[in-house]
Structure 1
């Protein structure tokens, strides 16, 4: 037998198999526990990393959290539409779980009710993913346009299929804009057109076009400016359905945190980050509470415009300087009312969108910084589907009014009290009585609150706008190009805003990180102790406030 020397005069039998050397697992710090941060935490932990999520608030979810009141009312803070669950299902499956086992999802049909105001009165449309029923609904007030539904669906099915590869990859360099998938997609993308203009090829009645274009508000944009690509938003609703998670969309965030913790992710709640620590241009960790926490990579899930100028010194940001961030175009904001009422509202649909007669002028006003006096609005009455959200016989009403952001309208603090009355009065247009005597709990979130309380830059609820000059390579990169070791997830990076898109963005970002850090597979044992994993984990999903 051969003998081999290893150290200090010790000898071993060189013919015996050498024990496998387990590589060190990289430490990853994630700043923010919004949907992008949660998805990234799940995927990175499943791929073998040690992951710690630092969240400034007491709960997970970011804007996709649940607000609760002492009186027993629960509200989604932000997103209320849960659609296209395919991506999140795949993330759960990759992490050894099943979305349906963690969250009860109810498919809604009708999906929502649209109320169009006009000189001749109101027109109501109950929108269904059953295309026969939807055609019949359209035929009641726009018979010619009912015939356009099938061609719209077919065209957008093809559009999504051809553009999906583009939405599922990173844009790291200018040459990525001229890859074959982009060239193949251009004829269907019609980049010279807008959503409204593209819809006019299928629907002539402006009310019908609004029915298939108000979804651009999920991006905080106008259908008269939004690129025609985003007709796929309404297509996704009709082809894949709209779901209500029992407990609200915040229940999805809590489920993601549960799965992440099973994979060894540690959540440090109530821990605001002061800055990212750098050695030259390379991130080496984060600083919080006066202490440094070393990491091999940092994922920023905080709002881009608000967080990046604070987390990364200006001299390290060659592309996204403070000046560029300040000159970028941002989405509108939202004025929110969360009302706990001592009566049920069976006459109101789960989702209702009130489209004012002056819808187009409303949008122009918002883009110019004027607060509309007769606004369009969205109302969620989720208790008709989910009675867990309020005490028996009560209801939890969510009211959203699109309004200018703080960049366009800095005088919001002086307007909020007045606009509360405007919003409450507008509810009467939905056939509701004056609800003021029935309010048992109330919370307002105005643009200044989005910025000060929820750390949303300029109060722009839907992040950077999705105009072509701020998409794909022109959007902040998933691997942040200004420095090394910093990655982005969330609505401020590619592919953009909206829950399914944010989840997809987390897959893109973590795919890049897997290559950079040598991550390949799930850990075979519990996380190894270390700097980022040293503290006792706190349950991240016990409930949101």
Structure 2
């Protein structure tokens, strides 16, 4: 089935119609007649080819910038990269595609349709949530079906469930539709929204908000787990993240046929084939190059003028967008002398999200009763999350997310086989856990649990296996403390209090990805690139400041 949902109209977005592109090329005067930036156009270097970096490159290219994307790994995608093993294809990272209009916008900017390159299929149920006692809840986008599921567990909570979704809608309309693409570069920007946030009850946690409307302990878990998808503890993150519930109902949950990697490939092709940009893999940035900035600038006295790669090559630029971890960028790609706001001490003080243990595996049989997305909740909820986020200990029990893409797309595995990955939220590396010795025992424990619950006889049917640990998040993705989602999305690290999309220390340095506003998750990361449309000046601004490239 082809996805044909109409692009959501956004009055603030820089969208191009096919007629605009055919008649005028890209919207800025740096474009050539074929719609690609001219050789004289200002040059943007994007550090990192994750979803945020690729989306930034597309938006900048469509505005008339020449774009070069530099990726240290051997392929684009970042956390969304793909690997093949023993005939199986595995998405390494995000698999829950929501708000697909954010992808559609990128294709529209290039005069194309997403459906021409990528087929999205709706997933139903969105999630099957299995409780420790063996009961399960099918979470869908159908309001009537959801009312029946709620009533099956607790008839007296149906009214409260409906009230919760009304509140989720209110929060969504402000938190996502009005503010998700707005930069919070100034404190007064934040102060303007304080009354609205207070009225929405943002002082509550997500779990606290759910508990206001719903009494049943199981249903409280069902409607409060979403912050874990963006690295947050439901018991401590602001209730603004309850908007995810309505976001999923509004735009549904989708799967890209061929995996999330199909979206990555499509975005990379937009950069190179449609916009004439360059993507270089195996190109590790060692330093962001700086020059003195005019003293009148509101940011520091340094200006980004390009990057230096590990082999010594210099790539000049008029602006640099870092899709790398924000803390890593400040601490390791910029000299401390250039950082008056984001000092090492401040970077080290960021409260990082939890990490993940991820096990990718394939079986020589299929498990037809297993849904596309399954959440397996263990015997503890709040206490387990406290162990992960606060005590930073590796508990004996766990809760898991199980992804079975072959439920929707059999091509991800050889015939008669199933492809899976299972992830377990675990503490980041501040815990001191040595995953070189802990990974295999932990994998065996997870495997036993899956065998006893939803995948009987699993070990006997394994034909391929691979693991990703917090140490890999640190080493492969250069994530501080091996955190999986960047800074934890607590209120004091959100909006104005999150690292800004435009650097506060270095002129012409910008950020995209999970570490900046609005944050992690596919919609959040794509929205960080959307914010750049606002904070990056028009190409003509850079013409008098040309740097060699």
**Equivalent in the alignment of 2:476:** 453
Mapping of residues 110-125 of structure 1, within 5 Å:
110-117=125-132, 121-125=133-137
- CA offsets per residue over residues 66-100 of structure 1, 9 Å max, x none? 1211x211111111100111222223212212222
**How do 1:464-483 and structure 2 match up within 5 A?**
464-483=487-506
1:387, distance to aligned residue in structure 2 (A)? 0.5
1:388-428 Cα offsets, whole Å, 9 max, x none, are 10000011110100000001334333311211111111213
Structure 2 residue matching 1:59: 3-state secondary structure: coil
Distance 2:383 2:156 in 1: 26
Deviation, 1:184, is 5.1
Name the residue aligned to 1:48. Answer: 64
Distance of 1:517 and 1:209 partners within structure 2: 52
Question: What secondary structure is seen at the aligned counterpart in 1 of 2:69?
Answer: strand
Residues 206 and 239 of structure 2 are in contact (CA less than 8 Å); yes or no, is this contact kept in structure 1?
A: yes
Aligned residue pairs: how many? 498
1:60 aligned residue (76, 83, 106):
76
In structure 2, runs of 5+ residues without a counterpart are: 1-28, 32-37, 293-301
What TM-score does the superposition give when structure 2 sets the normalisation length?
Answer: 0.87
Decide which moves more: 424-433 or 434-443. 424-433
Query: 2 CA distance for matches of 1:441 and 1:531?
Result: 48
Q: 1:531: how far off? A: 6.0
Contact residue 41 and residue 539 of structure 2 kept, 8 A = no
User: Where does 1:505-544 land on structure 2 (aligned, <5 Å)?
Assistant: 505-515=528-538, 518=541, 532=549
Equivalence map 1:492-511=2 (5 Å): 492-511=515-534
* CA offsets 1:22-61 (integer angstroms, 9 cap, x no match): 9941011100000111001101111111000000111111
Any conservation in 2 of the 1:114–1:125 contact (CA below 8 Å)? yes
Q: CA separation of 1:173/1:137 partners in 2, compared to 1, >3 Å: closer, same or farther?
A: same
Compute the displacement of 1:146 (Å): 2.1
CA 1:84–1:429: 2 relative to 1, 3 Å:
farther
Counterparts of 1:65 and 1:230, CA distance in 2: 26
The separation in 2 between residues aligned to 1:340 and 1:381, in whole angstroms, is: 10
Task: Verify the 8 A CA contact 2:362 2:462 in the aligned structure 1.
Answer: yes
Q: Which residue of structure 2 lines up, in the alignment, with residue 303 of structure 1?
A: 325
Q: For 1:362 and 1:196, locate their aligned partners in 2 and report how far apart those are by CA, in whole Å.
A: 14
Decide whether the 8 Å contact of 1:65 with 1:78 is kept in 2: yes
Q: How far off is 1:183 after superposition?
A: 4.1
Q: How far has the Cα of 1:305 moved from its partner?
A: 2.6
Q: Distance in 2 between matches of 1:416 and 1:307?
A: 28
Aligned pairs for 1:131-280 within 5 A: 131-163=143-175, 164-179=177-192, 182-183=193-194, 185-261=196-272, 262-280=274-292
Q: How many angstroms does 1:429 deviate by?
A: 4.1
Q: In 2, distance between residues paired with 1:473 and 1:183?
A: 11
Between the aligned partners of 2:540 and 2:446, the Cα distance in structure 1 is 50
- Cα distance in structure 2, aligned partners of 1:245 and 1:270: 26
CA distance in 2, matches of 1:405, 1:379: 20
Per-residue displacement from partner, 1:252-298 (whole Å, max 9, x unpaired)?
11111111111111111111111111113111111112111111010
Seen in structure 2, the aligned counterparts of structure 1 residues 517 and 448 have a Cα distance that, compared at 3 Å, is farther
C-alpha distance in 2 between matches for 1:515 and 1:468: 32
CA separation in 2, counterparts of 1:340 and 1:123? 26
Give me the whole-angstrom Cα distance separating, in 1, the residues matched to 2:476 and 2:30: 47
Residue 527 of structure 1 aligns with which residue? Answer: none
Identify the residue that residue 97 of structure 2 maps to in structure 1.
Answer: 82
- Runs of 4+ more than 6 Å apart: 20-23
Contact kept, 8 Å, 1:43 with 1:95, in 2: the verdict is no
Q: 1:431 to 1:291 in 2, by over 3 A?
A: closer
Query: How far is the alpha carbon of 1:143 from its aligned partner?
Result: 1.0
Task: State how far apart, in whole Å, the 2-side matches of 1:519 and 1:341 are.
Answer: 54
In structure 1, the partner of 2:303 is: 282
Shift of 1:113: 0.4
Q: TM-score, normalised by structure 1?
A: 0.88
- 2:342 matches 1:320: yes
By how many angstroms is 1:517 displaced?
Answer: 5.2
Q: Which runs of 5+ in 1 are unaligned?
A: 1-19, 521-529, 533-545
Task: Indicate whether 1:413 and 2:459 are aligned.
Answer: no
Q: What secondary structure is seen at the aligned counterpart in 2 of 1:407?
A: helix
Aligned equivalents of 1:364, 1:370: Cα separation in 2: 9
* Cα distance in 2 for residues equivalent to 1:518 and 1:165: 27
Partners in 2 of 1:311 and 1:461 — Cα distance? 20
SS in 1 for 2:304: strand
Please give the alpha-carbon distance, in whole angstroms, between the structure 1 residues aligned to 2:256 and 2:399. Answer: 26
| TM-aligned CA distance change 1:205 to 1:113, over 3 Å | same
For residues 167 and 425 of structure 1, the distance between their equivalents in structure 2, rounded to whole angstroms, comes to 41
- For residues 388 and 539 of structure 2, the distance between their equivalents in structure 1, rounded to whole angstroms, comes to 43
RMSD: 1.9
- Which segment drifts farther, 458-467 or 138-147? 138-147
- Structure with the bigger RCO (C-alpha within 8 Å, sep 6+) is 1
Equivalent pair of 1:406/1:412 in contact (CA under 8 Å): no
User: The residue matched to 2:466 in structure 1 has which SS?
Assistant: strand
For residues 191 and 517 of structure 1, the distance between their equivalents in structure 2, rounded to whole angstroms, comes to 40
Q: Deviations over 1:142-179 (max 9, x none)?
A: 11112223222222222211233222211112111123
Deviations 1:453-482 (A, max 9, x none): 232221100110011111111111111111
| 1:506-531 Cα distance to aligned partner (Å, 9 max, x none) | 011233213475489xxxxxxxxx96
Asked if the contact 1:405–1:458 (Cα under 8 Å) also holds between the matched residues in 2, the reply is yes
SS class of match (2:477): coil
* Contact 2:45 2:69 survives alignment (8 Å): yes
Distance, in Å, in 2 between the alignment partners of 1:496 and 1:373 is 30
